[in-house]
Amino acid sequence: MLAVAGCSNVRPAPEVVSAEARSGLLGPTTIDVVVENTGASGDVRVQVTIYSEGQTVQSKHDRTVSMDRGERREVTFEIDLDSEAESYTATASPTGFL
């Protein structure tokens, strides 16, 4: 018989704490995303999606980072936007899990 205890949190559980653009959403733009991992250690995919008028996706940018359990990390995106964007969102998800 095999007993497995504590397997409810065997993958990262990342959550975006904040996302802030340092400048306007045109030309060279820096977006800082703070992510906290409340799950197990592992790789986390952080994605920033840029929207033009009418919530049309203008571009997507992602980065994969390794995070320890309980770690809080800032992930910085340097993006060059050819046309003015209206808004952006940031998400984080564990990688390598179906």
pLDDT tens digits for range 27-75 = 999 999 999 999 999 999 999 999 998 889 999 999 999 999 999 999 9
Q: What is the three-class DSSP state of 26?
A: coil
Assigned domain for 2 exists = no
**pLDDT given at position 60:** 97
| Residue 17 C-alpha from the chain's centroid | 10
Assigned domain for 82 exists = yes
Query: Above 80 in pLDDT, residue 1?
Result: no
The pTM of this model reads: 0.86
Assigned domain for 50 exists = yes
* Assigned token pair, 79: 């993006």
Q: What does the angle CA 17 – CA 76 – CA 49 come to, to the nearest 5 degrees?
A: 75
Spatial neighbors of 52 by CB under 8 A, at least 6 apart, are 58, 83, 84, 85, 86
pLDDT band at 10 (very low <50, low <70, confident <90, very high): confident
Assigned domain for 65 exists = yes
Whole-angstrom distance, CA of residue 82 vs CA of residue 93: 28
Query: CB burial class (10 A; 0-12, 13-18, 19+) of residue 50?
Result: buried
**pLDDT given at position 96:** 76
**Boundaries of domain holding 22:** 9-94
Number of domains in the chain: 1
